[in-house]
Amino acid sequence: MKDFFINHRHEILTLTAEHLWLVGTAMLLAIAIGIPLGIFLTRHPAWKNLVLRSNGVIQTVPVLALFGLLLPAPWLGARADRLAITALTLYALLPIIQNTFEGIAGVDAPVREAAIAMGLTGRQLLWQVELPLASNVIVAGIRVSTVLTVGLATIAAAIGAGGLGEFIFAAFPWWITT
């Protein structure tokens, strides 16, 4: 085992960097989309069921099947890394959106009422009261999404996107050739 790490250290470092790049990019996109969407849902609850259920449907699709569904997309299918990042971002969205919504919706009504009574605007209420109080729940959603994304990114090697999954698929050459 020790010999493997010594003999393949360059390859391990390269694949780890690719894996971190896939996960990091997908998570940045998921955070940039998920938190504002969760905030939107607290302000427009009529959209909650549609958004959360559609994201729930995405979670039920196996990752290899999602790669296959996204492959015909003109811009995405051209490069494996784009395809993998898009799929990983879609998988990471649900916990972030749901936790953002639940965290903000879970702020006690008396706290909101006190902030409004003090003259806070809707934007000030969000930034100075709701988001700070909901931050633990939001960060928990980001943590869950990150763990999910790290695990799913290994499957991205199946479509040639690289990452640490290369070692898994290299161990099963009969799987790759058939």
Q: Is 7 a member of any domain? A: no
Site of tokens 């006190």: 114
Per the structure, the count of domains in the chain is 1
Percent of the chain with pLDDT over 90: 65
Please answer whether residues 34 and 146 qualify as being in contact, where contact means their C-beta atoms are separated by less than 8 angstroms.
no
pLDDT digits (tens, 9 = 90+) for 54-102: 999 988 988 888 888 888 777 765 688 888 999 999 999 999 999 999 9
Residue 67 lies in a domain: yes
Within a domain: 6: no
Q: What does the block give as tokens for 12?
A: 């391990």
> Which pLDDT band, with edges at 50, 70 and 90, does 158 fall under?
confident
Rounded (10°) CA dihedral 40, 44, 45, 46: -130
Q: What is the pLDDT of residue 2?
A: 74
67: how many CB neighbours lie within 10 A of its CB? 22
Residues of the domain holding 67:
12-173
pLDDT digits (tens, 9 = 90+) for 105-129: 999 999 999 999 999 999 999 999 9
Lowest-confidence pick of 8-17, 68-77, 82-91, 159-168: 68-77
In a domain, 34, yes or no: yes
Beta strand extents in the chain (DSSP E only) = none
| 3-class DSSP assignment, residue 45 | helix
- Which residues fall within 8 angstroms of residue 37, CB to CB, at 6 or more apart? 51, 93, 97, 100
User: What is the CATH number for 108?
Assistant: 1.10.3720.10
**H/E element, 15:** helix 9-43
Share of the chain above pLDDT 70, in %: 93
Of 31, 34, 25, the C-alpha closest to 55 is 34
Instruction: Say how far apart CA 52 and CA 66 lie, in whole Å.
Output: 18
The answer to whether position 28 is within a domain reads yes
